Amino acid sequence: MAVDISVDSSEFSSRLAGVERQRDFLLEQVERLDKELKDTLESLTKAEQQHHTRMKDLHAQMQSAREALAKKEAEVTAKDQQRLAESHKHKRRELELEGELKTTAATVKRLRSKLRTIEEQRAGAGVSPAQATATSSSSSSSLSPALVSKDAVGEQQRQEQRIKELERRLAVAVEEKEDAEKHHSGQHLRTIRRLQDEVRQLKQGRESAALYKEKLASAQKQLQRKTEQLANLETQTHDYDDLKAFHTTWRKIAPFVRRFLFSDDVSEDQVLESLRTMQSDLLLCRNRAQQFELESKALQQKLSSAHAQLEQAHTKESEMKASVSALESRAAALERQCQYLRSERDKVQDLSMKMVEHQESFSKATAEQKVSKHLKEYQEHHKKLEAEMLRLQGTLAEREKELERLKRERDSAMNTDADEPATAAGETVDPRRTKILHLKSNPIAWAEEARKTEISRLKQERDHLREQLAKGAASTAGALLVSRSKGSVVDPKLQDRVKELEREVEQRDIRLKRLKEVFNNNVREFREACYELLGYQIDVVQASRYRLHSMYAESADDYLLFASSPQGLQLLETQFSASLDERILANLHRFHSIPAFLSAITVDLFSKSTMA
């Protein structure tokens, strides 16, 4: 096909210069995108740091609230104890008053009986008080009955006065008892009201703490959703800018291409070659933009995986610290036990020397029986110590294996990071057009250095524990040899201590067994309550995998399977999930709401069961 084209060389060179400028413009756009990507990464890092700071502040506030609540509970407990002591004091006072009342009543009863006896005696004598007064000066023959009647009257008056005094004291004691009861009841009512107010305040504090927790969880979810929306917005903005730049470029190139096609001095092959060159440059720029985008995503994934590895390393480090502290406490206990055994060995040696001195006073058969008995006891004790040492050595070996496994994981991770090729999404990258970002302050390197330091410290502690175990074993073996050679007597304090330790171990086992039973009962009740309230039975299939079975499911094979990951819960495909309707799956795939997805399944299965 012949094309009529009329254009001079200067115009063609200007067109080529325009194409070059367009290519330079595209390169500048790519560099600008690279810079924007770096700025975005920095802003994401700053936002993550701010989020961690906010979380720390919230945790500190919650900790202070818990401490205040614990302090308030301690004060309430102290006040309750004080009130209980006061109530006991009032009760003791009431008991004392009741005793005094009983004693006074018995005294009054006794005096009244005595008064009745005196009155009966006076009536039996036949002399009244008036007759005794009239005949007091008549004759000496009636002098003795008159004197008797006067004495009886005086005794009666004294008894009546004493009765009145006792009745007065009884009335005073009754009034004191009633006053004490009124005071105690009023104070008890005030105490009850104050305790009710304090309990109400504590409940309000707990409800506010729960509300703060819910607000914190909702804020975290909102932050996560906003982060996802920001990432989607940045991706859409980037795509829009690329399309806009592509459209602008083609609008600028279109007149040049049209002139090339209708020029006389340029051949068709040259035009096609220039078009191919421009298309290849455009494709190259587009590929580079896609590579930059993929590299940014890969860097974000590596950053998240590095954070996850760092958290796992911190968790393992805390576990190792806890195990090492437990081993240290166990080693200290063994050291104390070894010291106690050394002191007992010295005592046994002294006793054996005394036995050798007074050997003539004992019979040979009795001494041999005692020596064999004590030797058996020492052998059993030595076996227990050897078993304990073997258990500790096994624990140390497990810790060493764990350390070696962590080392291998660390080395494999470092080798993987070092040997990983500079690729993005399985495509090779040209090193001339690729930029590698190196962090000036790498948190992974810091974590590795801290981990190496901690591993070296744990090794030193392990060696120190081994030395202590070796010393304890040597001292125990020496004590056993001395006891075998001299035939010593076991101190009863050691036996009592061993029995006491055995009882403590049995009590701990019983307590642990009860705690396990209570925990299992609580877990079972919680699972049943969740099943009744939510309609799903949740089972842990494997590590980080959960199986959900609805109460309205038609068969046991109709279940959902979820897997936990750093990005959240992900639905795994099963036969039941593959048969679900698209409208139900839209709640999960489009709106990213697992509760709405599960509720839609529950409503669907419930409607099917009721219709059937």
Q: Identify whether the C-beta of residue 125 lies closer than 8 Å to the C-beta of residue 145.
A: yes
∠ Cα 332 315 333 (to 5°):
10
How far apart CA 257 and CA 153 sit, in angstroms, is 153
Distance CA 541, CA 333 (A): 40
- Rounded to whole angstroms, how far apart are CA atoms 215 and 594? 20
Q: How many angstroms separate the CA atoms of 128 and 375, rounded? A: 99
Place of tokens 């081994």: 466
pLDDT at 12: 56
Residues 213 and 141: their CA atoms lie apart, in Å, by 108
pLDDT means over runs of 10, the chain (612 residues) = 42 64 71 73 73 73 74 76 76 76 78 78 59 42 46 71 78 75 70 78 78 80 80 78 75 62 58 75 82 81 80 79 76 74 71 60 56 70 74 76 76 59 45 54 66 78 73 53 45 69 81 85 87 89 87 89 87 89 88 90 89 67
- Classify residue 292 by burial, with Cβ atoms within 10 Å: 0-12, 13-18, 19+: buried
Q: Do 507 and 373 meet the contact criterion of CB atoms below 8 Å apart?
A: no
In order of 75, 269, 286, 587, 608, the CA distances from 61 in angstroms are 21, 76, 51, 36, 49
Three-state secondary structure call for residue 187: helix
Q: How far is residue 109's CA from residue 102's CA, in Å, rounded to a whole number?
A: 10
pTM above 0.75, yes or no: no
The whole-angstrom separation of Cα 476 and Cα 378 is: 10
Place of tokens 């802003």: 43
Using a 10 angstrom Cβ sphere, with 0-12 exposed, 13-18 middle and 19 or more buried, the burial of residue 100 is middle
| Residue 78 contacts residue 70 (beta carbons within 8 Å) | no
Long-range own/partner contacts, residues 291-294 (CB < 8 A, 24 or more apart): 291/424, 291/427, 291/429, 291/434, 292/30, 292/33, 292/34, 292/37, 293/235, 293/238, 294/424, 294/425
Beta-sheet strand order (sheet of 536-542): 536-542, 545-550, 560-565, 568-572
What is the helix (H) or strand (E) element at residue 549, kind and residue range?
A: strand 545-550
Angle, vertex CA 610, rays to CA 607 and CA 612, nearest 5: 105
3-state secondary structure of 537: strand
Helix (H, G, I), strand (E, B) or coil at 232: helix
Closest CA to 264 of 4, 11, 8: 4
For the CA atoms of 371, 376, 381, 384, the dihedral, rounded to the nearest 10 degrees, stands at 170
Chain centroid to CA 144: 99
Q: How many residues does the chain have?
A: 612
Residue-by-residue DSSP string for 45-109: HHHHHHHHHHHHHHHHHHHHHHHHHHHHHHHHHHHHHHHHHHHHHHHHHHHHHHHHHHHHHHHHH
Q: What is the pLDDT of residue 599?
A: 92
From residue 231, alpha-carbon distances to 198, 227, 501, 565, 607 in Å are 49, 6, 62, 19, 39
Alpha-carbon distance of 541 to 479, in angstroms, equals 53
- The residue behind tokens 């700071």 is 53
Q: Is 548 exposed, middle or buried (0-12, 13-18, 19+ CB in 10 A)?
A: buried
What three-state secondary structure class fits 116? helix
* Closest listed residue to residue 320, CA positions, set 446, 404, 393: 404
SS3 of residue 42 by DSSP: helix
- Residue 42 and residue 299: Cα distance in Å, rounded? 12
Q: Which residues of 121-147 are buried (b: 16+ CB within 10 A; e: fewer)?
A: ebeeeebeeeebeebeeeeeeeeeebe
